[in-house]
Structure 1
Amino acid sequence: MKVHHLNCGTFDSPLAGTIVCHALACETDNGIVLVDTGFGLADLADRSRRLGPLPRLMGAKFFESETAVRRLEGLGFATSDVTHIVATHLDFDHIGGAGDFPNATIHTTAVEDAAARARASASDKVRYRPAQQPPDSEMRTYSGPGEPLLGFPDAHRLDTIGDGFFLLPLPGHTKGHAAVAVDTGNGWLVHAGDAFYHHSVVAPPGVDSPGFQGRFMRVVEKVLADDRSRISENHRRLRELNTQQSSHVTVFCAHDRKQLEELQQRG
């Protein structure tokens, strides 16, 4: 499987620095599978209705060239080539581009889909945008017992996509948040979404200092989390997974610029 690491949205702020929206485009026998989408063309055209004020306050830049549809066109693909989208969660900066791919089925946990539709809490009303919510006909959701995978007891195999794609439930940032595991044939890529924000979280102890940005992003992570009590345990599980070199696993998050650039250089 050939995997392209794409930046599908940029934020820039004095304290956090440059933050990316890391998405994957996976070439499979059944078409292109996207993992997250960043912002979409409709988001840029109608920011107030589709996104609300928070992205601008966070320093969003809104470049059309960074949307997933334009990134894929630059790689020689058409919108019809995208057959599936796997969402770590349904926040506005992760699902906004889904509407640019009308032929795609969107996969997420049933808990996340229900939370996005209910928008029960004040924070849910900010993070989940009704104008971005895909129709039921485009959604496939997963719940109940799964199967053991990479130390997770209840992974959901995404059979309709084909071999090699799994949702790993990892609630905390949102109620139904999940990491997405991709078996590339040369090892595992684990897109952890917003389960952490800075590369130092999954580095071995003492190897990578968080610095000011890393410490600041951990504060942001707590502010934005639906359940703060789960953050430390999620960090521990992902760090343990990332440092098991024999299992050929690479763990990365959605918003860390350094991780994105390293994976792009690695090809």
Structure 2
Amino acid sequence: MRVHHLNAATMCPRGAALITGKGGLLERATMVCHVLAIETAEGLVLVDTGLGTGDIARPSRLGLTFTAVLAPRLDPAETALAQVKALGFAADDVRHIVLTHLDLDHAGGLGDFPKARVHVHAREHEAAMARKDMMAKSRYIPGQWAHGPSWQLYDATGEDWFGFAGVRALFADEGDVLLIPLHGHTRGHCGVAVRDGDGWMLHAGDAYFHTHSLDAEPTAPLGIRLFQQLTDTIGAERRRNQERLRQLRQSRGREVRIFCAHDPDEFDACCAGRPL
């Protein structure tokens, strides 16, 4: 398989020192929306979609808090659709979309690929459809899936993978793309593992936000740690899963390259093929 790393939305919140550990308190940080485009025997597979053309056309649907605090650039050239086309594919070539979760900055491009089958954990789908509280109403945007996607839902059953349980292979004929339950940030949040030669890469979504969160002695900046706590649905689960990811990176880092959705340094390293 050939894997392309895409940034499908740049976000520029103020407080760089508190978010990335670099720059001043009033400077703008840079955060990415790390998306994978995978060429497989099943066709083109996307892992997450970032923000889509519908979000750029109607940024109000993202909500005032999101646009004011995270300050997305809303650049049409950064949409997954534009970048898929730049790679020489058409929208209909995207046959599958695998979502780490349904937060607005991960599911925004769903409508740009209406023929794709959308793979997501059943717990996440249930939470997004119900939108039971104010946090859920702000993070899950029904307009992003108003086209009526073809959903493929997964429950808690599955196999083990490097100590993680309930892991599901997404395509029956191959075990090269796996859904890894990493609940906590949202109710059904998952990682997505992709076979990479003799090893694996693991897109951990929002299981953590800063690469130093997985250090043996975590040193993520204060602001990003507070932001993670504020956006947790089930904090205890997220912390347990983050610790398991930390142990996996420390013990099997050569076999499994772990990266999150929003860290720009991890994104740059992946694009350049550098170690994480």
TM-score bracket relative to the smaller structure: over 0.9
Instruction: Tell me how many residue pairs correspond in the alignment.
Output: 261
1:6 aligns with 6
TM-score, scaled relative to structure 1: 0.92
Q: 2:73 & 2:125 partners in 1: Cα distance?
A: 27
Contact 1:180 1:190 in 2 (8 A): yes
Q: 1:52 & 1:67 partners in 2: Cα distance?
A: 19
| Unaligned 5+ runs, structure 1 | none
Give matches, 1:1-267, under 5 Å.
Answer: 1-15=1-15, 16=19, 17-49=29-61, 51-57=62-68, 58-133=70-145, 138-160=150-172, 162-205=174-217, 209-210=219-220, 214-245=221-252, 248-266=255-273
Contact 1:175 1:226 in 2 (8 A): yes
**1:216 partner amino acid:** G
After alignment, is 135-144 or 91-100 more displaced? 135-144
In angstroms, what is the RMSD of aligned CA positions?
A: 1.7
2:24 aligns with none
Q: 1:44 & 1:129 partners in 2: Cα distance?
A: 14
TM-score, scaled relative to structure 2: 0.89
Q: 2:189 & 2:204 partners in 1: Cα distance?
A: 9
Q: 1:7 & 1:52 partners in 2: Cα distance?
A: 21
Q: 1:247 & 1:8 partners in 2: Cα distance?
A: 27
Percent identity (aligned): 40
Contact 1:84 1:161 in 2 (8 A): no
| Unaligned 5+ runs, structure 2 | 20-28
Q: How far is the alpha carbon of 1:246 from its aligned partner?
A: 6.8
Q: 1:174 & 1:158 partners in 2: Cα distance?
A: 21
Moved over 6 A (4+): none
Q: How far is the alpha carbon of 1:243 from its aligned partner?
A: 2.1
Contact 1:202 1:251 in 2 (8 A): no
After alignment, is 161-170 or 72-81 more displaced? 161-170
Q: 1:91 & 1:241 partners in 2: Cα distance?
A: 25
Q: 1:201 & 1:95 partners in 2: Cα distance?
A: 24
Q: Deviations over 1:184-232 (max 9, x none)?
A: 23311111111100000123337xx43xxx2210110001111122232
